Amino acid sequence: QVQLVESGGGVVQPGMSLRLSCAASGFSFSNYAIHWVRQAPGKGLEWVAVISYDGSNKYYADSVKGRFTISRDNSKNTLYLQMNSLRPEDTAVYYCAREWQQRHYFDHWGQGTLVTVSS
C-alpha cells in the first residue's frame, strides 16, 4: 500500500538549518509530483512547496521562498526539504503528500514530522 514516512524533525534555534526527508513506498515514486504541507500548532494547513515527478519543476509558497529548497532522489524513492534561516513561525508539523495524476489534490499523506524553532 502507499506509504509516505517523514523524518528529520526536531528542535532548532532560529537561523539554523534542518533537512526533512519523506520516504515513499508502495507506488512508482518517480511518476508523481510530491508536496510539502505544514501545520502550525493549533492552526490550519499551509501549502509549502511542490516538485514535479522528475524534479524539473519546483514551486514555493512566498513565506518560504529563498529559504527552503525541495528536492527528490527518485533512485531512493525519497523527497527532501532543506530548510535554512529558520524562524519561529516555521514551527509546525510538516507533511509530505502525493499529488494524484497532476490533478492538484493530495490522495495520500504522511503522518508528519514536527519542527520546532525556538531559542
Partner 1 sequence: QSALTQPASVSGSPGQSITISCTGTSSDVGGYNYVSWYQQYPGKAPKFMIYEVSNRPSGVSNRFSGSKSGNTASLTISGLQAEDEADYFCSSYTSNNTLVFGGGTKLTVL
Q: Which region, left, alpha or beta, applies to residue 66 given φ > 0 means left and ψ of -120 to 50 means alpha?
A: left
Among 22, 95, 113, 117, binds partner 1 (CB under 8 A): 95
- Secondary structure (3-state) at 25: strand
100 lies in the binding site for partner 1 (CB under 8 A): yes
Residue 48, C-alpha cell as written in the block: 509549502
DSSP letter (8 states) at residue 51? E
112 lies in the binding site for partner 1 (CB under 8 A): yes
CB of 98 to partner 1, least distance (A): 10
Residues that bind partner 1 (CB under 8 A): 35, 37, 43-47, 50, 57, 59-63, 95, 100, 103-107, 109-112
